[in-house]
Structure 1
Amino acid sequence: MRFEELALPEPLGKGIAEAGFKECTPIQELTLPLTLAGRDVAGKGQTGTGKTAAFLISLYKKLFDNPEGNGGNHPRALILAPTRELAVQIEQDARQLGVQCGFSIQAVYGGVDYEKQRNGLKQGVDILIGTPGRLIDYLKQKVYSLSKVEMLIIDEADRMFDLGFIGDLRFLLRRLPPFDQRQNLMFSATLSHRVMELAYEFMNMPEKVAVGGDTITADRVEESLYHVGSDEKFSLLLGLLAQENMERTMVFTNTKREGVRLQLLMEANGITSRIISGDVAQAKRLKIMRDFKAGNLPFLIATDVASRGLHIEGVTHVVNYDLPEDPEDYVHRIGRTARAGADGKAISLADEEGALNLEAIEAYIGHAIESQWADDSLYVTDYKRPPRNSRKKKPARRGRRRPTPSTAAGEAGQADNTASSETKDKVPRRRRRRKKKPVSSEG
């Protein structure tokens, strides 16, 4: 099905054409006829199959059908996302598809200018995108109201449960108009039993739509696995980088500590890379993502904070430097490549510890990952190691420095040696107590 066949408003059609979309993906072909007709839909599809575009197109069509709007601080649509990265990505896609539509868009999430977001929201928006925490914060301050929302969209609902946001999510949903007075859409890579319970509680008889059959990984991802010792992982990674011609690659680690160590190793060997993790400042994180999307950064090291919701065109490879402990994270990691019909490769390195996670991952994805055997020529053994002082030292605090015990003792000794006799004489001496003579019993 082509988008031209959907009889969309002209400004929306122009935005779709400018984004380069011509034919619908399977999830879009199944859901758009339902959502454009006003039906509620709970959609399941493999990551990277175009779910975001599906619900945004439905949203813009709904807003065009009612051009009057609500005005004031009453958003017409609410889009909920579990992570900051996903909220940013949805906002970017919404602005791209709606560039000709004229609707105001505001995304709110933690880690960036609080007052700037608050003031922008206070001026009134048509489409509100955000994470639950920041949305609740502004709602309690009565910066905006949810009483006139015409469409609710929940993206990656299963992740809301995983991250413990389900209480916040219910708090927001209970402040919306009744479910039969708004349209409700839910999209996710997985639709578990608890997610469907949420759908039936807050949606109006949703139509469940699923694509991809029993396979939950993207069809066009070529998966491979190398068994390797933990002390040889970087040696093998260097060989794979040279062999695979990795132009734009995401490398995933389980912890920030391992990611930092990997970045230092890559930099010592002339490989430009950056790392993003949960405690990296949001402004810095967004700058790193812009550089990676623009092609200025060939390698992005990330923890699982970046495995969901990021649509980056042209990611040729995903490398699991550490196999994830959660099988779902494996699916979302490799879903960063082979997006929207493109091809991609996912390479996993299983060391002694990571191999323990392999059985659960293969059971979850429903197939075995093809194992590859690396010969000795693939290992790069003469690589450079970063100097021990490569990590930046924390700047010393200003003010009076507290002396160390050895320094204090030295200074005290020096003072004793240089003190004048007069000074010493002035020091009061402790008097000795005289022992009292025992009283004679003969007294």
Structure 2
Amino acid sequence: MTNTLLTEKAFSDLPLHDDLLRALTDAGLTHCTPIQAETLPLMLTGRDIAGQAQTGTGKTAAFLLATFNRLINNPPAAERRVNQPRALMIAPTRELAIQIHKDALLLNKYANFRISLVYGGVDYDKQRDELREGVDILIGTPGRLIDYFKQKVYDLKAAEMMVLDEADRMFDLGFIKDVRYLLRRLPPVDQRQGLLFSATLPYKVTELAYEHMNNPELIKVNPDQVTADKVTQVLYHVSKEEKIPLLLGLLKQMDPKRTILFVNTKHVAEKVWGYLEGNGFQAAILSGDVPQNKRQKMFQRFSDGELAILVATDVASRGLHIPNVSHVFNYDLPQNAEDYVHRIGRTARAGEAGDAVSLACEEYVYSLMEIEEYIGYKLPTQPVSDEMLETNPAAPVRRERSKPPAGRSGGGQRRGGGGNRRSGSGRRDGSQSKPSGR
């Protein structure tokens, strides 16, 4: 839960159920953030909402409170079956789904709803069995949700609430057909409430909202303030050959305690990781092919301070909630302007301050103009002096390659066999189809 800049509107001033107010009080939450203050009064009356606000400003708590309040105050239909969720919450990444689930459990302290979390990469049978046993609120990523839906593990005929989080990222990751598949299987828009939240609301997202929601109210909090005002940003123009020496020099000068370092490709991630490890910085690589159990251990080590640096591709730029990230480095400038905003949004969360350092080399500097146009100002630049460069960096460490399990090729064949995009196999959220006959 966030505790960013608060408004004067108290949760107790809203028509929230006592069970929710007690849970909020126990969590030390008394007043609304701006996005909560703007959206909750409307959502609590049953209005559909498309909300935009910066990352880390309380969007998750807003739609969870609205969902819980509606479900508490409206008992389910007598004919509803236990495997028919009353609320569906769709997230683009495993990490975001996990964070939503964590916040939901906090608010569920006295409400006692059955909340299920499904996402790819782990616990296939366990998640499926839990759904069959009964679910009130279903949180998940598109691939695994569709997989179980097509197996008739659950259906959406009794859904009263639909929440779509980080909708623009659904487009970026190629999930939009999957999202539309799920939305078309919900009850008609006049028989349910729809909530959509995101850091940005481009035209394609608002079009989706009007297509699958009931005349949603557009709510934008600080839409002109694209990047968090407490992020100190700086840009260095540097050649590709000097990026490693400059990075190592800056890290030694800044001594950042918890840093996410973004690159554009996995190949570069491995190169940078090798130099970091070789020069005394504990680091780990976060990319789309890291197994889920390993990802969770990595996040825990990073959050606990055992790892100083995460080297990440853009799979990590959205949906992560890691407190106290002190620095974000764009080792490579992103090729998409919106990704710049999402990357630096990993720091300065919950009202804290942070630093964002970008290195503009000849390969990626072409995207700088688009980034500056998108954020509405020029990034402050500083010159690179010889004193800033690490003159004699140690040789990079070579990363050990794990061998594929016996009986499987290193190509990572899908369990579903066909790789059919519509079947749910091979999705970037990590879910896969199961073989027939399971």
Q: TM-score range by the shorter chain?
A: 0.7 to 0.9
1:21-420 to 2 correspondence within 5 Å? Answer: 21-68=29-76, 70-386=80-396, 390-392=398-400
* TM-score normalised to structure 1 length: 0.85
- Alignment partner of 1:371: what SS? coil
- Alignment partner of 1:125: what SS? coil
Q: In the alignment, which of 12, 15, 36 is matched to residue 23 of structure 2?
A: 15
Task: Tell me the amino acid that sits aligned with residue 69 of structure 2.
Answer: K
Do the aligned partners of residues 125 and 398 (structure 1) sit closer, same or farther apart at CA in structure 2, a change above 3 Å counting? Answer: closer
- Name the residue aligned to 1:419: none
Q: Deviations over 1:229-284 (max 9, x none)?
A: 21221221222223223111111111111111111111111211111101111111
Contact 2:270 2:399 in 1 (8 A): no
Once the two structures are overlaid, the 10-residue window that deviates more, 174-183 or 98-107, is: 98-107
Distance 1:18 1:275 in 2: 36
User: Mind listing any 5+ residue stretches in structure 1 that lack a counterpart?
Assistant: 400-443
Do the aligned partners of residues 292 and 21 (structure 1) sit closer, same or farther apart at CA in structure 2, a change above 3 Å counting? Answer: farther
Task: Tell me the amino acid that sits aligned with residue 42 of structure 1.
Answer: A
Do the aligned partners of residues 141 and 43 (structure 1) sit closer, same or farther apart at CA in structure 2, a change above 3 Å counting? Answer: same
Pick the structure with greater CA Rg: 1
- Alignment partner of 1:336: what SS? coil
Q: 1:397: how far off?
A: 11
Do the aligned partners of residues 226 and 164 (structure 1) sit closer, same or farther apart at CA in structure 2, a change above 3 Å counting? Answer: same
Q: 1:71: how far off?
A: 4.5
User: Mind listing any 5+ residue stretches in structure 2 that lack a counterpart?
Assistant: 1-8, 408-438
Task: Tell me the amino acid that sits aligned with residue 204 of structure 1.
Answer: N
Q: Deviations over 1:330-386 (max 9, x none)?
A: 111001111121111111111111211111111111111110123222222122112
Distance 1:393 1:278 in 2: 16
Distance 2:29 2:226 in 1: 24
Contact 1:25 1:340 in 2 (8 A): no
Distance 1:205 1:222 in 2: 38
Distance 1:302 1:20 in 2: 33
**Count of paired positions:** 397
Do the aligned partners of residues 393 and 337 (structure 1) sit closer, same or farther apart at CA in structure 2, a change above 3 Å counting? Answer: closer
Distance 1:394 1:195 in 2: 40
- Name the residue aligned to 1:3: 11
Distance 1:150 1:51 in 2: 20
- Alignment partner of 1:372: what SS? coil
Do the aligned partners of residues 371 and 65 (structure 1) sit closer, same or farther apart at CA in structure 2, a change above 3 Å counting? Answer: same
Task: Tell me the amino acid that sits aligned with residue 211 of structure 2.
Answer: E
Contact 2:162 2:195 in 1 (8 A): yes
Distance 1:214 1:192 in 2: 13
Contact 1:319 1:347 in 2 (8 A): yes
Q: 1:10: how far off?
A: 3.0
Do the aligned partners of residues 56 and 394 (structure 1) sit closer, same or farther apart at CA in structure 2, a change above 3 Å counting? Answer: closer
Distance 1:79 1:2 in 2: 26
Q: Aligned-residue CA RMSD in angstroms?
A: 2.0
User: Higher helix share goes to which structure?
Assistant: 1
Contact 1:236 1:380 in 2 (8 A): yes
* TM-score normalised to structure 2 length: 0.86
Higher relative contact order (CA 8 A, sep 6+): 2
